[in-house]
Amino acid sequence: MSATKKLFVKTYGCQMNMYDSDRMIDLLKPLGYKLSDVPDDADMIILNTCHIREKAEHKLYSDIGRLEPYKDAKAAKGEYMILAIAGCVAQAEGEEITRRKPCVDMVFGPQSYHKLPEMIAQAYRSLAANGKPAVLDVDFPVESKFDLLPMPSPDNHKGAAFLSIQEGCDKFCTFCVVPYTRGTEYSRPIDAIIKEAKHLVTLGVKEITLLGQNVTAFHGIGPDGKEWSMGRLLFAIAEIDGIERIRYTTSHPKDMHDELYAAHRDIPHLMPYFHLPIQAGSDAILKAMNRKHTADDYRRIVDKLRDIQPNIGMSSDFIVGFPGETDQDFEDTLQLVRDIGYVQAYSFKYSIRPGTPAALIEYQVNEDIKDSRLQILQELLREQQLAFNISRVGKPMTVLLEKEGRHPGQLIGRSPYLQSVHLDAPHRLLGQIVTVDIEGATQFSLAGKMVTQEHIHHT
């Protein structure tokens, strides 16, 4: 093996997976792996999978099929490529992946990333012994992986970074596999979170997004030996010098609490954008989903947030065609969307997840009905998103510049509401927060002109 090895990583799904992929990359750097943009000649490929989206397993097996010729081509030259499947599909499918795809060398779940160097060594030992490595690690270990992962490296941050603070979920929504693939709720200790946040600041990070499958249920142990809520943690993060923007996701309506409302009222660093999934606007469907709240509970939360922070923009997740959903149930969802008014939202057709309680419900909605309802819901959500974006035209917005645009001299950044903003700006401002006068809007993005350099605000 050469001293420098090529690593290709494909990340599916959620922001938690993006954070995990970055940590795996950091973990493999000391072993001589350098990130590659293409899989063709990689020495190791990691597919970090997500089980939430529809047809997740099908997409994985299709990708494995596309990658297999690259592995064969390396083998023909007497070289070796490790093909590793990580993440939630790996956790759920386990041995089935290695049975269906013998070309896969390693399968490991989200709780095993810290053991990557050990697993790679095991794969090569097995290769030397019998010509076929096979590493399978989908256990839920006693130790926390966070204690054993390296600190983030300087690469690819461009002013913004994810920081995982909580993992797993105890809610057991009937459609969801997270409790089975990520395990029960675990919250990191406060000291470890603050240490990582301060480290990110030294890398030039100005915006931190705190991540968790059920982040508002955070209950990490503080330096005082007591459990801290998500709200209290936000106040502590806001005190770190150099952090100018704070976000967090994903939240659950059942876990809203007074300290969290106070954080939205009192912390200027906390962005006025809140992603709060509801999934459906019908109480009957919410009960069948085991969401543990009603549609009016959700409305009251939004009203309270808007009372304390009038500029807040709401985002959500919706599932249409959940088993048993009637025309009236769907109309209740549409009415909730009209009542709330969303900055943006994600919507999907219900798809069966084997092993979840919803998969056993007898009345499954017809696919044509699901398609029709999804189109109606998405059209309403598109109208709301476009209307909100148009309402920003003529107003100044602070924008964190994150990457180059398609045109020379163009940069793309994110507004406080996570809108993509296109503007002309010098490359040296990447990673900086600038003020932009918004001049145009589409459904998915804004365009504007940067305020003159001497008037740039870094707040």
- The phi and psi torsions of 371 (rounded to 5 degrees) equal -60, -45
Residue 280 confidence (pLDDT): 98
Q: Are residues 318 and 175 in the same domain?
A: yes
- Domain of 129, CATH number, reads 3.40.50.12160
88 carries a ligand binding annotation: yes
The verdict on 201 and 346 lying in the same domain is yes
Which pLDDT score is estimated for 128?
A: 60
The enclosing domain of 237 has a CATH number of: 3.80.30.20
- Cis before 49? omega within 30: no
| CB of 440 closer than 8 Å to CB of 448 | yes
345 and 408 together in one domain: no
Q: What is the mean pLDDT of residues 108-134?
A: 71
Give me Rg for the CA atoms of the chain: 23
pLDDT higher than 50, residue 2: no
221 and 307: one domain? yes
pLDDT band with cut points at 50, 70 and 90 for residue 459: very low
Q: What's the pLDDT band for 455 if we cut at 50, 70, 90?
A: very low
- Shared domain for 348 and 209, answered yes or no, is yes
103 is in an annotated binding site: no
Task: Tell whether pTM > 0.85.
Answer: no
Last residue of a domain, one of 391, 418, 442: 391
Total domains present in the chain: 3
Query: How do residues 350-403 score in pLDDT, each as one tens digit?
Result: 988 777 888 888 889 999 999 999 999 999 999 999 999 999 999 999 999 998
CA atoms within 13 A on the CB side of 331: 3
Q: Indicate whether 16 pLDDT > 50.
A: yes
Q: Is 315 in contact with 285 (CB distance < 8 Å)? A: no
**Residue 260 identity:** L
Q: Which domain CATH number covers 406?
A: 2.40.50.140
Lowest mean pLDDT among 133-142, 184-193, 217-226: 133-142
CA distances (Å), origin 246, targets 155, 161, 163, 210, 237: 20, 10, 11, 8, 8
Convert the pLDDT of each residue in 169-207 to its tens digit.
Answer: 888 899 887 777 667 788 999 999 999 999 999 989 999
Residue range of the domain that includes 410: 396-455
Same domain, 200 and 261: yes
Domain endpoint, select from 391, 406, 422: 391
Short-list 217, 295, 218, 306, CA closest to 261: 306
- Do 116 and 161 have their domain in common? no
